[in-house]
A and B are shown apart, each in its own frame.
Chain A
Amino acid sequence: MGAIFRREIGAYFTSSIAYIFLAVFWIFSGYFFWASCLYPGTSDMSGLFQSMFLICVFLIPILTMRLFSEEKKQKTEQGLLTAPVSLGEIVFGKYFAALVLYTLALLMPFVYALILSSFGTVEWGIVIANFLALFLLGAAFIAVGTLVSALTENQIAAAVLSFVALMALYMIDVINSYISISFINNILEKLSFYRRYYAITCGLFNVSTVIFYISVALIFNYFTIRVFERRRWS
């Protein structure tokens, strides 16, 4: 797993993807930091964190699009799948590389919190909980993007499809409001990514949310492994 992880991190930085991802992530988070904290003159970061959800929906597909699609296109996948490593090592090696880059991107909002703390009081408990929620949200989203990347051999297709998938997850609440069957409402409410995330930005930390996001990440990574297993057996 280490070898795949290191190669993937290297590939992020030799291609321009890491720089583009980090730059765009930081530009948007910087703008929302200014708009929700600096301009109104508050140390309440909940506005910033609420906006971060949508930034993730837009940017995580860029992070995950080439993970597997490029391997398939360049035929390097064959080298991976015939190497003495398990499918789990391959999938998680790549997944963690994307997750580490994402975590790197989260450092900037952390710097914003430090900046705020020099001007006023920052509720560190809430801020840390928010970071944890944002990290877990990204972990779940990256797993979704990784699966989509494994299903196509075109980076752009992978990016667009991942975006659609993440957007659909974001829209669960909107869809839910159009449905008036209480049974389905209940299920969709439980599946809502945004509702859980929003609750944390408001200061309502819930362990079930942590478990929810981690489960989503594991389930989608498991699906990715299954995709490769199925392809081998087809």
Chain B
Amino acid sequence: MTLAPSSVPVATLRDTLLPALNQIILGKELTLKLAATCLLANGHLLLEDLPGMGKTTLSHALAKVFGLSYRRIQFTSDLLPADILGASVYHPEQQHFRFHPGPIFSQVVLADELNRATPKAQSALLEAMEEYQVSIEGESWPLPQPFFVIATQNPQHHAGTYPLPESQLDRFLMRLSLGYPDPAAERRLLRGDSGREALHSLQPVLSAEQLQLLQQDVQHASVSEGLLDYVQRLVNYTRQHEQIELGLSPRAAQALLRAARSWSLLSGRDYVLPDDVQAVFVAVAGHRLHGTGDQPGAHLARLCLQQVQVVA
């Protein structure tokens, strides 16, 4: 195995990063690995869950483990773009305007309850996510690198929410939901084996520079013709399936492959297997698929996995 430039062996990732996360959030190994995959693939993450499932804890833990600076923005219906991006404020003693950067100038930004804000405020954040810079009054302010947004949203049917349009959902590489813990994990949680206290004692496993190197490695994981065939079959199937109104776009296909590469790296390989594609498919495709009926996208994604031949 030749992992060229990174100074961090992949084994470190597997053996220290994931166990560290698992100590904070109990019994959610797969979801945590997917969240780490998303970060490694340089993609933003959307968490959809009920309140109290550990969304904030997860994002905080991710920032800490990767050694990144962390800010949280609580989205409310009266939030203005300036509250996110920052604003130029007049300083009478110096007689000029000075830019005060908003909370978005951070490496990990938790956008809590994104869908409670008005579309105007939402799009301020989403534009920054795409451009990696903030433009105010004709001046551009680059965002720190790496830049990673974790947005959480309440399930759509809750009152007082503004659902994100498809084009903005597409900016998130993955959508995950933690869900209720299993009984054993919940028992440990009640005993107090983990939680916010453990967060404070959490030590970074990587530095920001190492993370950036790893993100470059992801691009180098090798992909065979047979695997590309499988990815194309999957994507085509979503476009032809009669129950799916909107299939996966080419950008979504790229995102799928990027996520699969990242997952293979976290699994300690430098080549991608169909298993990697299957592991990330529901998270990557779930929020991008729209059924003709009221089936949830994740259900449709699972249906596609069951129908498409891996080798053909």
Please indicate whether A and B come from the same complex rather than being unrelated chains. Answer: no
Residue ranges of B at the interface with A (Cβ–Cβ < 8 Å): none
Residue ranges of A at the interface with B (Cβ–Cβ < 8 Å): none
